[in-house]
Amino acid sequence: MQQAIDLAHKGIVSGAGGPFGALVVREGRVIATGSNRVTSSNDPTAHAEVVAIRAACAVLGHFQLQGCDLYTTCEPCPMCLGAIYWARPDRVFYACTRHDAAQAGFDDQFIYDEINIKLSVRRIPFIPQMRPEALYLFDTWRNKTDKTPY
Amino acid sequence: MQQAIDLAHKGIVSGAGGPFGALVVREGRVIATGSNRVTSSNDPTAHAEVVAIRAACAVLGHFQLQGCDLYTTCEPCPMCLGAIYWARPDRVFYACTRHDAAQAGFDDQFIYDEINIKLSVRRIPFIPQMRPEALYLFDTWRNKTDKTPY
């Protein structure tokens, strides 16, 4: 965790992005690291956890992190939490909490709140369109015999 | 939306990944597209929406999508929902629902459920560690005078 903290600190000082660091460990060895670089890379998804997960998957040549642990300097936001569940590491170690982050101006709680309300009343409007025309995509997927499930 | 549906279909047929497509529109023009490529790029975060958002931000040279609309063939999973809130497009148009996706084997609901339970009882263990040592990161961030907020 100290390495993740040091990464976060370097990221702030260098101007890479926000005060967050993360890394992925496998069999006692750090296989990938990340720090927030949203503003420096013009990528709103470049949170430390996402950067570290993508890098670890690139190293392993696989889209799953079974057998790995993720260390992050802060409790993940909903986006990173989703990324973690799709990547499926064994465990997540975190240092600061979402409340610590909120006090520093990172309002993950707003997103947590929006997730739990109806799509029709969300702050960003979610508008249904052309469901009947799109449903065949799932049939195509179901019927595909050579697919890679994930 | 028809373009997003066509992208999703191409993605299935070509073996890029799951049955999902997305695109970003600004001033009536498609500025970026994406289809799921989790399995082909070994990137668990490469959902259609994330791919399209990252591509749109790269085009605009900014980490925000104000003034843009996102079209996606399916209601976003929690990861993509988080990415959308960080990118802040004006509106999201979606075709299929999370229930349609679940019937095709994409269990976003599991992640929605996990988000709302205590960290200590989640299926992936979330373990607190070294909060006192990490808290200074937020002070460093607060005191940084030349930072780019996001």
Q: What is the pLDDT of residue B23?
A: 98
Choose the mutation target among B54, B75, B85, B103 for the interface with A, i.e. most A CBs under 10 Å.
B85
B45 vs A53: CB contact, 8 Å cut-off? yes
Q: What is the pLDDT of residue A108?
A: 87
Q: What is the pLDDT of residue A107?
A: 82
Specify the residue for token string 């990340």: A34
pTM of the model: 0.96
pLDDT exceeds 90 at position A140? yes
B63 vs A57: CB contact, 8 Å cut-off? no
Q: Is B35 helix (H, G, I), strand (E, B) or coil?
A: strand
Q: What is the pLDDT of residues B35-70, one digit of tens each?
A: 999 999 999 999 999 999 999 999 999 999 999 999
Q: What is the pLDDT of residues A42-74, one digit of tens each?
A: 999 999 999 999 999 999 999 999 999 999 999
Mean per-residue pLDDT, A105-126: 92
Choose the mutation target among A6, A54, A85 for the interface with B, i.e. most B CBs under 10 Å.
A85
Query: ipTM exceeding 0.85?
Result: yes
Chain B contact set for A128 (CB, 8 A)? 93-95, 97
Chain B contact set for A3 (CB, 8 A)? none
Which tokens hold the place of A65? 């992190």
Mean pLDDT estimate for chain B = 96
For residue A102, what is the enclosing H or E element?
Answer: helix A98-103
Mean per-residue pLDDT, A5-33: 97
Per-residue pLDDT band at A97 (split at 50, 70, 90): very high
Which tokens hold the place of A86? 């799709």
Nearest CA in chain B to A37: B63
Per-residue pLDDT band at B107 (split at 50, 70, 90): confident
Catalytic residues of A: 49
Which tokens hold the place of B116? 């709302």
Mean per-residue pLDDT, B94-110: 93
Instruction: Please say whether the dihedral angle defined by the alpha carbons of residues A110, A87, A8 and B53, taken in this order, is positive or negative.
Output: negative
Q: Is A21 helix (H, G, I), strand (E, B) or coil?
A: strand
Chain B contact set for A8 (CB, 8 A)? 134, 137
Q: What is the pLDDT of residue B108?
A: 87
Mean pLDDT estimate for chain A = 96
pLDDT exceeds 90 at position B89? yes
Measured in angstroms, the CA of B27 and the nearest CA of chain A are apart by 18
Q: What is the pLDDT of residue B66?
A: 97
| Paired residues of A34 in beta bridges | A22
pLDDT exceeds 90 at position A101? yes
